[in-house]
Amino acid sequence: MKSVTVLGSTGSIGLQTLDVIRKNRKDFTVAALSCGSNIDILERQIREFEVKTAAVFDERKAKELRARVPARVLSGLQGIVELAKLDSADLVLNALVGSIGIRPTVAAIEAGKNVALANKETLVSAGVPVMERAKKHGAVLFPVDSEHSAIFQCLNGENKGSVRRLIITCSGGAFRNHAPADLRRVTAADALKHPSWNMGAKITVDSATLMNKGFEVIEAKMLFGIDYDDIEVVIHPQSIIHSLVEFADCSVLAQLSNPDMRLPIQYALTYPARVGSDCRPLDMAAVKTLSFSPPDTGRFPCIRYAIQAGRTGGTMPCVLNAANEVAVRAFLAGKIGFMDIPELVLKKLDGHEPCMNPDIEELLALDERIKRETMHELHMEREPLPAGVI
Ligand SMILES: NC(=O)c1ccc[n+]([C@@H]2O[C@H](COP(=O)([O-])OP(=O)(O)OC[C@H]3O[C@@H](n4cnc5c(N)ncnc54)[C@H](OP(=O)(O)O)[C@@H]3O)[C@@H](O)[C@H]2O)c1
């Protein structure tokens, strides 16, 4: 029996994680759950899974929930960090969105826990020090992102030295067929209609700008230690092949399935075992065509900016992520246009003199500073916020 803490249990990945656990109740218990503010869903989850400890980022909502459930309810970022370290959990699944996920990931690693990592911003903003910590504490990071799970599965039992290339597939996002002029007119509602995946709002916009794919290249570099020159991205609109690995002999292994995030989530929870699932089996005759093309980095420059920031390294990816989090938030709020997102991110990258080998605290301080500056420039003034929160 494995005991799992789910951070961000009320979001898209969190809900699907609990769905996987619900179907495998004899193998898993839930140690703890957290949300930002959505306490109605969290309350139902606490009752269903008989959870003894929970955390709510919003202090007021945490207080409200305390009066409603027979569980210990922690609050704020500190409460979520405490949750990540709980003795009762064997595995922490981090499904928080944004760089708010960094501290809980680090806390779990330092407590010697394995982490199933959906929160990609952790590895984008602070990949090098996080991977160093995982190595030091002997913690395993299981990828939840479907592309990295696919690569992880293809590498299973292989010698990493024999890898020639990683090929990361990409659906192309909501606007893959839009002309440049049309991209200037799209709205947040348009961007939220992803053609193949049903995900949280932030990652859906990141998919539309292709920033998400740039993030995934950085993530792949961090997780698998493959050079940027040996990581390729291909547009594959059917989202059936989740990624591929080419080996020294030019053999290519791929992982395929119908698009369903419960599959990579389940593999991260059950690894190395494979167990039955409710995912729809793949009918290759019905799929008929699997097509591939290179990404258009002219129409979607975010992918280029992200890979360049990754190549530069140091503090650059942290700036990329922080500027992007604010830009996406502004786009979703209707304050800026879709093509203002890459412009804003580029401006912050161009204005930054990168420092090499930053530690986690330096990165968190930089994350906060870039977010504040960008919000100020966009007239999105708010109360002082802790690192990671926008
Ligand atoms: N969704 C996917 O299919 C998918 C695929 C691959 C990777 N990922 C990655 O997985 C992560 C989660 O994505 P998602 O789509 O599940 O996001 P989501 O649906 O927006 O859910 C985010 C979760 O984080 C919580 N949260 C938000 N802000 C918070 C804060 N300041 N403090 C504490 N908790 C906070 C939310 O709580 P409330 O509900 O209370 O707001 C919710 O539980 C992201 O890094 C994303 O890139 C997602």
- Strand intervals (E) in 304-347: none
CA 344 – CA 288 distance, rounded (Å): 40
User: What residue's CA is closest to ligand 1, atom 8?
Assistant: 118
Between the CA of 271 and the centroid of ligand 1 the distance, in Å, is 23
**What's residue 363's pLDDT?**
98
Which amino acid type is present at position 141?
L
Give me the pLDDT at residue 389, please. 52
Residue 271 has pLDDT above 50, yes or no: yes
Mean pLDDT of 78-99: 98
Tokens 């309810």 belong to residue: 73
Mean pLDDT throughout 109-121? 98
- pLDDT exceeds 60 at position 386: no
Q: Which domains does the chain have, with CATH numbers?
A: 2-143 (3.40.50.720), 148-287 (no CATH), 313-377 (1.10.1740.10)
Q: What is the mean pLDDT of residues 345-351?
A: 98
Per-residue pLDDT tens over the stretch 216-227: 999 999 999 999
Q: Average pLDDT in the 310-337 region?
A: 97
- Comparison of pLDDT for 196 and 309, the residue scoring more: 309
Nearest CA to ligand 1 atom 35: 36
Model confidence at 387: pLDDT above 50: no
Supply the mean pLDDT for the chain.
96
Which candidate, 319, 353, 325, 354, places its Cα nearest to that of 341? 325
pLDDT of 196:
75
pLDDT exceeds 80 at position 383: no
Closest atom, ligand 1, to C-alpha of 199: 1
Cβ neighbours around 1 below 10 Å, total: 8
